Structure 1
Amino acid sequence: MGREPLSVVVTTFNSAATLEACLRGVSWADEIVVLDSGSADAGMAIAARYGARIHAQPFAGYSAQKQAAIDLASHRWVLLLDSDESLDEASIAPLQQALLAPTCAGYQLWRREWQFWRWQSRRARLNHYVRLFDRQRARMSSHAVHEEVQVDGTIGVLDVVIDHHGEPDISGRVGKADRYSSLQLPDLARRRVGGLRLRMVAYPTVAFLRYYLLRGHWRSGWAGFIAARIHAFYAFLKYAKLYELEQRRSKRETGDDQ
């Protein structure tokens, strides 16, 4: 009995710089689906060269866009990748082995992060995410950012590492922190997060220590230190922006615009 056929699903927008590596690592898959949101670069030419089935629609938000791409897949089993992620040849055997007789509804893969001018230390803790899954038993979460695959069933872990090329420099990482903290505002407001002043003061330090020490990014030298500082800045920004939103709302309600 052969393995389950696999659809690789990728969402793109002006992703030419990283898309080649992304698609090269999964060229063995039975199908590659690319959902683009209006690229103006050479990304779609790269996708066509790898035989991808290309679709386009306006960007609907990170979670909704990925769900739309998943829904376009022809096969039941899906491998979901971002366009700035790639896999090497060592990933092929574990993925194919898991698809011979899947025992879980989804599988987590590890992810290694590019930190400005180097890869994170091999001894720093890797994140892990559900990326290989039975799409009949899985769906994207509704989070505006940090969206994830939610699986109805057991979840396994494969010895597969995704290389996440991410933002190539400090400016890009800071810009992402600013953008993501704004996108997260509606979710935070709905949750009615309290104690914002204390959170602005204390939580960035907690976030820095957790990222830098507990997750071991101190092993990545100054790149790890800078990444931890930006992570702490992101933690500060999301609560500062929520505090600003509440202050403005309060002034409107009281009629005090001075």
Structure 2
Amino acid sequence: MREPLSLVVTTLNNAATLEQCLASAAWADEILLLDSGSTDATLEIARRHGAQIHSEPFKGYAAQKQSAIDKAAHRWVLLLDADEALAAGARDAIEQALQAPAVAGFRLPRRELVFWAFNHRGVRLNTHLRLFDRSRVRMNQVPVHAAPETREPVATLAGAEFLHYGEPDIHTKVAKINAYSTGLVGHKRTRGTRLLGLRLVLYPWWFFLRQYLGKRWFLDGWAGFINAVSAAYYVFLKYAKVYEAQRRRDGAAD
């Protein structure tokens, strides 16, 4: 007998991808959806899947997700974004892991839609803590990239891949890069950023090589190359905007 499981999803106008998200985990004991004002077919899709629907104004990525997690009926939670879905075979791995879990949670590998195709099978996937005991895990407070965190032991569940449909074209990728890099400026300035000039000059090149060669994005062909260049530009833009904010502050202080 496995632990009962709540699928938790936050939404805002996600009708384009929500169907595949909810269908991929329809076997969960509860589907809980926290919406922040959708005007498309998001809520209709959620009702069709028997979701418990809550509505709250958007409070920021971390606070919104934590509010949704807190509403779950069960201790064990599967947290997915509305543009994510479990891959084939993930259910068996998750149900097996929940038979007698000895850790606070499980990191799941995420396979990305890289513009026009999903990652090659040989790409080294990032893993994310998405299956966890909500009494032992909390959302961190990092803007934009908010994620569940715990100091207790977690394990990686290699057989439970999930798919991310969030960047279906280069236009969407570039728009996210611009929005996310702006959203991180305050956080990075609060924490302090040492050797900013060196980071601007050297870090993007290192990041490109780490992703393209180290993570084997070259296996994704031209999509992988474009993605690696875009990721390096994101890294550059984050620090460029921090530098800009510092110059504006210094100018205001003169």
What TM-score do you get using the length of structure 1 for normalisation? 0.96
1:33 aligned residue: 32
Determine the structure 1 residue equivalent to 2:182. Answer: 182
Equivalent-residue separation in structure 2 for 1:98 and 1:59 (angstroms): 33
CA distance in 1, matches of 2:2, 2:210: 40
Moved over 6 A (4+): none
Query: What are the residue-to-residue correspondences of 1:109-120 with 2, within 5 Å?
Result: 109-120=108-119
Equivalent position SS for 1:39? coil
**Aligned partner letter, 1:210:** R
Q: Report the secondary structure of 2:230's partner residue.
A: helix
- Displacement of 1:120 after TM fit? 1.1
Shift of the alpha carbon at 1:192? 1.5
Q: Is the 8 A contact 2:140 2:146 kept in 1?
A: yes
Unaligned residue ranges in structure 2 (runs of 5+): none
1:214 and 1:93 mapped to 2: Cα distance?
30
Instruction: Supply the distance in 2 between the matched residues of 1:214 and 1:153 (Cα, whole angstroms).
Output: 28
Partner amino acid, structure 2, of 1:109: L
Shift of 1:152: 3.9
Correspondence 1:8 to 2:44: no
Q: In the TM superposition, what is the alpha-carbon distance from 1:100 to its structure 2 partner? A: 1.4
Matches of 2:206 and 2:118, distance apart in 1: 24
Q: Which residue of 2 aligns with 1:230?
A: 230
Match in the other structure for 2:126: 127
Query: What is the match of residue 105 of structure 1?
Result: 104
Letter in 1 for 2:63: A
CA distance in 1: counterparts of 2:87 and 2:215, whole angstroms = 24
**2: CA distance between counterparts of 1:183 and 1:9?**
24
Aligned alpha-carbon RMSD (Å): 0.9
Is the 2:87–2:160 Cα contact (8 Å) retained in structure 1?
no
SS of the equivalent of 2:77 reads strand
Identify the residue that residue 136 of structure 1 maps to in structure 2.
Answer: 135
SS of alignment partner, residue 98 of structure 2: helix
Shift of 1:101: 1.0
More deviation, 129-138/147-156: 147-156
Determine helix, strand or coil for the equivalent of 2:135.
Answer: helix
CA–CA distance in structure 2, aligned partners of residues 143 and 192 of structure 1: 14
Q: What does residue 148 of structure 1 align with? A: 147
Letter aligned with residue 183 of structure 1: G
CA offsets 1:133-183 (integer angstroms, 9 cap, x no match): 110111001110222211242101112100111121001001101111011
For 1:152 and 1:35, how far apart are their aligned partners in 2? Answer: 26
Identity %: 51
Mapped pair 1:196 → 2:196:
yes
Say how many residue pairs are matched. 253
Superposed displacement of residue 202, structure 1: 1.3
Residue 137 of structure 1 aligns to a residue whose secondary structure is: coil
| Cα offset, 1:4, TM superposition | 1.0
SS at match of 1:136: coil
User: Secondary structure at the residue paired with 1:112?
Assistant: strand
Match of 1:162 in 2: 162
1:30-89 per-residue CA deviation (whole Å, 9 max, x = no partner) reads 000001111111011000000000111111111111101100101111000010100134
SS in 2 for 1:193: coil
TM-score by length of 2: 0.97
- What is the letter of the counterpart of residue 141 of structure 2? S
Inter-partner Cα distance in structure 2 for 1:152 and 1:45: 38
